[in-house]
């Protein structure tokens, strides 16, 4: 036996500290913790820790509503009728779109409605021009913990090359999941919905980017402008891991005042009634279709998955992973690529392979 082999063998013979290296948790121990309900920030909708997504069109007033939420946390008041159950009354707002002057103006507008004293907002902190958001937030939360961290906006801080890339999206979100667990707080990302989705039924599939984004968060919300009354908004819970179906079938109708402050009206509207054509919303039950994505999204995917000859089985798996769909719909994508001449079929034995038709693509 060589010296290197003896060394390796010796490592296996050493006694193992069985408890210090184990990361499992026994069911009996978890039950003994006596957790009877999920800890909430605003009960029953917003959990106290984790990662959530808040999306909508550019004119919906997303940032306004999230500043309202931040003020509610800092002052310990309820938000849209949902009871504040935080423990710190502290919030960090990462602003990538509004600068300090714009934020000062907007806060002053909000406070014309709220009427808080300046010192009441001492625990609402803003972060501008962040260069390394993960490490900076980790440091700030270590110095002064918070209930909530709002990031406005997701696309400005995403550190991957492509938002449609499932692996890059998961890796990015996982950094914030780790921060949320470490600091026991909720991260809420402001995001956008696709332009083509505004006439459809509210859905978690309407978020821009990889479907792994919505799959990675506990809570997903879509905010919509009412079609007939520009002062009204529809707050739609399109994903809620710990919420009953009664919260995810109808919008909560909100009204915005002259100071950009939202309040609940007590009304609700069925999701299907928010679609321009209700039949468009119902068509989503058929699952994702190739036409739901742009040609550029398909091309970006194929340049990675089929730049070299690839088997049908491997390509199907790649489609399932990238578009988060099952086997049968994935095969429809392959037919779509062949019919559209995105892919060329390379005949061979014992089976054919597929490769991107880069030189002859129609776009």
* 89-124 residue pLDDT tens: 999 999 998 899 999 999 999 999 999 999 999 999
Fold of 290-360: Arc Repressor Mutant, subunit A (1.10.10)
Q: What is the pTM of this model?
A: 0.70
* 229 against 23, higher pLDDT: 229
* 348 against 272, higher pLDDT: 272
pLDDT level of residue 288 (50, 70, 90 thresholds): confident
Q: Could you tell me where in the chain the CATH 1.10.10.10 domains are found? A: 290-360
For 122-167, how does the pLDDT look when each residue is reduced to its tens digit (9 = 90+)? Answer: 999 999 988 889 999 999 999 999 999 999 989 888 988 888 888 8
Q: Could you tell me where in the chain the CATH 3.40.50.300 domains are found? A: 40-282
The per-residue DSSP string of 90-147 comes to -EEEEESSS-HHHHHHHHHHHHHHH---GGGGTTEEEEES-SSHHHHHHHHHHHS--S
Averaged pLDDT for residues 36-48: 91
- What is the rounded distance in angstroms from the CA atom of residue 312 to the CA atom of residue 331? 9
pLDDT at 285: 43
pLDDT level of residue 32 (50, 70, 90 thresholds): confident
Which string of b and e fits 297-328 if b means at least 16 CB within 10 Å?
bbebbbeebbeeebeeeebbebbbebbbbeee
pLDDT at 20: 61
pLDDT level of residue 283 (50, 70, 90 thresholds): very low
- What is the rounded distance in angstroms from the CA atom of residue 229 to the CA atom of residue 130? 37
Percent of all residues in the chain with a pLDDT value above 70, rounded to a whole number? 90
For 162-178, how does the pLDDT look when each residue is reduced to its tens digit (9 = 90+)? Answer: 888 888 999 999 999 99
pLDDT at 323: 87
The domain made up of 40-282 is a member of CATH 3.40.47.10: no
Evaluated on CA atoms 60, 64, 70, 71, the torsion sign reads negative
Helix, strand, coil fractions of the chain, as percent rounded to 5: 40, 25, 35
pLDDT at residue 61 greater than cutoff 50 = yes
């Amino acid at each position: 036996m060589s010296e290197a082999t003896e060394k390796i063998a010796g490592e296996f013979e050493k006694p193992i500290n069985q408890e210090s290296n184990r990361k499992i948790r026994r069911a009996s121990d978890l039950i003994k913790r006596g957790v009877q309900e999920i800890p909430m920030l605003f009960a029953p909708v917003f959990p106290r820790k984790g990662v959530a997504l808040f999306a909508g069109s550019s004119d919906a007033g997303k940032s306004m509503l999230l500043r309202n939420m931040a003020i509610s946390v800092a002052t310990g008041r309820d938000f849209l009728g949902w009871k504040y159950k935080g423990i710190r009354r502290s919030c960090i707002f990462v602003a990538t779109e509004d600068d300090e002057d714009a934020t000062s103006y907007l806060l002053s507008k909000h406070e014309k409605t709220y009427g808080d004293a300046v010192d009441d907002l001492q625990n609402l902190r803003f972060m501008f021009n962040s260069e390394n958001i993960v490490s900076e937030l980790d440091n700030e939360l270590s110095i002064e913990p918070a209930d909530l961290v709002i990031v406005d906006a997701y696309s400005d801080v995403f550190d991957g090359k492509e938002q449609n890339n499932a692996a890059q999206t998961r890796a990015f979100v996982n950094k914030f999941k780790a921060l949320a667990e470490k600091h026991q707080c909720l991260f809420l990302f402001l995001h956008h919905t696709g332009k083509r989705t505004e006439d459809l039924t509210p859905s978690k599939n309407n978020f821009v980017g990889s479907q792994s984004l919505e799959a990675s968060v506990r809570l997903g919300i879509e905010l919509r402008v009412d079609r007939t009354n520009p002062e009204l908004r529809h707050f739609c819970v399109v994903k809620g891991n710990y919420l009953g179906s009664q919260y995810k079938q109808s919008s909560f109708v909100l009204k915005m005042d002259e100071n950009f402050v939202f309040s609940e009206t007590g009304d609700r509207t069925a999701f299907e009634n928010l679609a321009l054509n209700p039949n468009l919303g119902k068509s989503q039950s058929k699952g994702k279709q190739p036409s739901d994505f742009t040609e550029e999204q398909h091309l970006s995917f194929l340049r990675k998955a089929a730049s070299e000859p690839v088997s049908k089985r491997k390509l199907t798996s790649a489609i399932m992973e990238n578009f988060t769909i099952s086997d049968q719909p994935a095969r429809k994508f392959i037919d779509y690529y062949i019919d559209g001449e995105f892919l060329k079929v390379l005949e061979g034995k014992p089976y054919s392979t597929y490769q991107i038709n880069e030189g002859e693509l129609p776009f």
